[in-house]
Structure 1
Amino acid sequence: MMKFPIINRLFPSYKWKVAAVIIGGVIVGGGALFMY
């Protein structure tokens, strides 16, 4: 896995990292759906 110091500072806990990844995936996935 790639480590991003800024993300580690904003999301110090593992649960916050997972939540951020899921939210980011939903936003990116939703944007991809609207493009097609």
Structure 2
Amino acid sequence: MYYNDVLLCCGITAEELKETYTNKFQKNMKRW
């Protein structure tokens, strides 16, 4: 996957991405 390759080049792991995405998602849910 291209997107995954870019993340790996930037040194971002899937775990970090998942954690960030989850936090963002929870913040958005609390906003409603």
TM category, shorter: 0.5 to 0.7
**Cα RMSD (Å):** 1.6
Amino acid at match of 2:13: W
Q: Where does the alignment leave 5 or more consecutive residues of structure 2 unmatched? A: none
Q: Where does the alignment leave 5 or more consecutive residues of structure 1 unmatched? A: none
Q: Percent identity?
A: 3
TM-score of the aligned structures, taking structure 1 as reference length = 0.60
TM-score of the aligned structures, taking structure 2 as reference length = 0.64
Give every structure 1 segment of 4 or more consecutive aligned residues whose post-TM-superposition deviation is greater than 3 Å.
none
